Amino acid sequence: MNVNSRDITADFAVIDSGSGLTIYNRLIKRGLDLLLVAIIGPLLLPVIALLWVLVRRDGGPGFYGHKRVGRDGNAFRCMKIRTMATNADELLKAHLEADPEARKEWDESHKLRNDPRITRVGRVLRKTSLDELPQLWNVLKGEMSFVGPRPIVRDELARYGANAWAYLQMRPGITGKWQVSGRNDVSYDQRVAFDVEYNREAGLLTDFGILVKTAKVVFLPTGY
């Protein structure tokens, strides 16, 4: 789904620097993504199905797709197992209006350590990152990669400033430097710095190292 890509690239110029335009990132990386999906996809399908059933018990949908900005500014639906209540928007609005500290935290990072929208099952899924397994579909479609910048919404691009190119040149990743370098304990500016750093050094060994570290993070969960 390629919507708003012209608007995005008009607002944030893509500078041809870094490694985002190398043969590895444009061709080889895609082939490796497809190979990994072919290997682990069949093994994870039963897990995804089980999680879907558990989440569906409250009557809401099992999957959730939220619009994110992809490579070259193309928008796509980033798939996840639903971890929030069906009335999440109303819960968030009421919480931010009643709690100034929560409003400040939300404005700074677009995340809440004590998020009233997240269900009990959802908290477990987020801490283990199991809610992101459906993104294998995004990888298969070419919208995401196994390793890359964290998928962001359009409004967040403004926080990248002159470094927006570092994000727009790459496919967003299921995992990346942010996820294995402190995750929710780092500031947004640090997150942007991680994306710039990854763009400039992305390669086979870098991606392999991040995947190994990701496996450790899953068993030592820090997500929320």
Query: Per the domain annotation, does 176 fall within a domain?
Result: yes
At residue 83, the pLDDT reads 92
Query: Per the domain annotation, does 101 fall within a domain?
Result: no
Query: Per the domain annotation, does 60 fall within a domain?
Result: yes
At residue 220, the pLDDT reads 67
| Per-residue buried b or exposed e for 6-45, using 16+ beta carbons within 10 Å of the residue's own CB | eebeeebebeeebbbeeeebeeebeebbeeebeeebeeee
Q: How many domains does the chain have?
A: 1
What is the domain range of residue 126? 5-83+118-219
Mean pLDDT per 10-residue section of the chain, whose length is 224 residues = 46 52 84 96 95 88 93 95 89 88 82 86 88 96 96 93 93 92 78 92 93 81 58
At residue 62, the pLDDT reads 92
Tokens 């947004």 label which residue? Answer: 188
Three-state SS for 143? Answer: coil
Yes or no: say if 169 and 71 are a contact pair by the CB < 8 Å rule.
yes
Tokens 């397994």 label which residue? Answer: 133
Query: Per the domain annotation, does 224 fall within a domain?
Result: no
At residue 2, the pLDDT reads 44
Query: Per the domain annotation, does 93 fall within a domain?
Result: no
Residue 192 CA: distances (Å) to CA of 21, 72, 94, 123, 134: 19, 17, 30, 26, 25
Query: Per the domain annotation, does 91 fall within a domain?
Result: no
Query: Per the domain annotation, does 104 fall within a domain?
Result: no
Query: Per the domain annotation, does 173 fall within a domain?
Result: yes
In sign, the C-alpha dihedral spanning 27, 152, 143, 172 is positive
Tokens 């639903």 label which residue? Answer: 82
At residue 101, the pLDDT reads 87
